[in-house]
């Protein structure tokens, strides 16, 4: 199966002493940034990401492995499908160094030899069953959900909630909800969304968008959309890229997906996957999903609520090992 689709995965080794030393040179106001341990803690699951890709998506054209500069010891850097990308290779110098994922993500379109169509993974997102290119793109358009949602405001200091609000403020500045829905009515009111279609019906009376549903799973993106958003909202993206740590003034890469939805440049499709929040959700359910491949896509999201970290880490590693016993060609 031939494909012009790339995968991009970002990774940081939170134990790298050079990275830690450089990070300590900066002293952020911790009331305005998101710099918790769960952002950088190492679960030692990366080799299973490569094993799952080789088993479940052998058609991928290239994998762009984005890193500060450190590399996992197991990685076969000579693999023909692997492109090692350091931050300095593509992020403009004025934004470096950075300890926020947002500048890394906002500038992904600058990666050398990146395909127009690519799927972006955090390093806690996995393919856990065979997927095909049409799960992510059809006729060069990303498969997305035009489903509205509401922003849950529970903590005035919660950085993520501010970021979601910033995203949708940019969208409402650039797009009229009435025009967007009118121009692509059957993409918004599409039976493929199942029961989530009720969200659009309930939020129809609101004159502007409240939010767009976010699954926290691998997301298909277009390189050209990044360029369009940078052109339209340079100041916003420049400010986000300039922040060394996640800040309440940031936007995040969901914005690029929203932009494709607003312009109608997508194919309606409900994403089949499950995001697990370790420490909040039942770890047994995550392990069961990994072993029995109940979901095509899964996310094992670290949280500040994790207790008995080493024990849970070992259990999740054991589950992945049961599912993916054999080394991939990406391993030495």
| pLDDT for the residue numbered 39 | 44
With beta carbons less than 8 A apart as the criterion, state whether 264 and 46 touch: no
Query: Between the CA atoms of 65, 66, 69 and 71, what dihedral angle is there, to the nearest 10 degrees?
Result: -30
Q: For 301-321, b where at least 16 C-beta lie within 10 A, e where not — what string?
A: bbeeebeeeeebbeebeebbe
| pLDDT for the residue numbered 24 | 83
Structure tokens at 97: 């160094």
What is the DSSP code (8-state) at residue 293? T
For every one of its 332 residues, what pLDDT tens digit does the chain have, with 9 covering 90 and above? 568 999 999 998 878 888 888 888 886 555 444 454 444 456 688 999 999 999 999 999 999 999 999 899 999 999 999 999 999 999 999 999 999 999 999 999 999 999 999 999 999 999 999 999 999 999 999 999 999 999 887 776 778 889 999 999 999 999 999 999 999 999 999 999 999 999 999 999 999 999 999 999 999 999 999 999 999 999 999 999 999 999 999 999 999 999 999 999 999 999 889 998 876 567 889 999 999 999 999 998 875 565 677 888 888 999 999 999 999 999 99
Peptide bond into 97 cis (omega under 30): yes
For 302, residues 6+ apart whose C-beta sits below 8 A from its C-beta are 38, 39, 41, 43, 124, 278, 279
| pLDDT for the residue numbered 41 | 55
User: Can you say how many angstroms the Cα of residue 101 is from the centroid of all Cα atoms in its chain?
Assistant: 10
Q: Where do the DSSP E strands lie in 269-312?
A: 273-277, 297-301
Q: Where do the DSSP E strands lie in 68-162?
A: 82-86, 117-121, 125-127, 137-138, 141-144
What is the DSSP code (8-state) at residue 144? E
Q: Which domains does the chain have, with CATH numbers?
A: 5-323 (3.90.550)
| pLDDT for the residue numbered 280 | 59
**Structure pTM?**
0.93
2 dihedral zone (left: phi>0; alpha: psi -120 to 50; beta): beta
| pLDDT for the residue numbered 25 | 83
């Amino acid at each position: 199966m031939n494909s012009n689709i790339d995968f991009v995965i970002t990774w940081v080794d939170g134990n790298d002493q050079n990275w830690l030393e450089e990070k300590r040179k900066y002293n952020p106001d911790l009331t305005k940034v998101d710099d918790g341990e769960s952002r950088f803690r190492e679960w030692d699951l990366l080799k299973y990401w490569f094993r799952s890709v080789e088993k479940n998506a052998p058609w991928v054209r290239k994998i762009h492995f984005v890193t500060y500069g450190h590399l996992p010891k197991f990685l076969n850097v000579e693999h023909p499908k692997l492109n090692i990308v350091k931050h300095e290779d593509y992020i403009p110098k004025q934004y470096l160094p950075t300890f926020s994922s947002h500048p890394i993500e906002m500038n992904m379109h600058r990666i050398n030899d990146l395909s127009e169509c690519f799927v972006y993974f955090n390093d806690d997102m996995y393919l856990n069953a065979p997927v095909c290119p049409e799960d992510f793109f059809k006729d060069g358009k990303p498969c997305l959900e035009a489903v509205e949602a509401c922003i849950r405001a529970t903590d005035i200091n919660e950085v993520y909630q501010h970021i979601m609000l910033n995203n949708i403020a940019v969208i409402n500045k650039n797009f009229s909800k009435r025009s967007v829905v009118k121009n692509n009515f059957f993409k918004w009111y599409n039976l493929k969304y199942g029961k989530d279609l009720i969200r659009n019906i309930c939020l129809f009376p609101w004159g502007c968008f409240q939010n767009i549903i976010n699954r926290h799973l691998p997301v298909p993106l277009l390189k050209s959309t990044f360029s369009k958003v940078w052109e339209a909202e340079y100041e916003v993206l420049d400010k986000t890229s300039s922040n060394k740590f996640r800040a309440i003034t940031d936007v995040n890469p969901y914005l690029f997906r929203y932009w494709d939805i607003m312009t109608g440049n997508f194919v309606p499709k409900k994403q089949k996957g499950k995001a697990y929040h370790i420490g909040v959700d039942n770890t047994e359910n995550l392990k069961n999903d990994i072993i029995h491949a109940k979901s095509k896509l899964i996310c094992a999201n670290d949280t500040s609520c994790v207790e008995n970290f080493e024990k849970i880490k070992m259990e999740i590693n054991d589950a992945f090992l049961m599912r993916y016993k054999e080394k991939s060609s990406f391993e030495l």
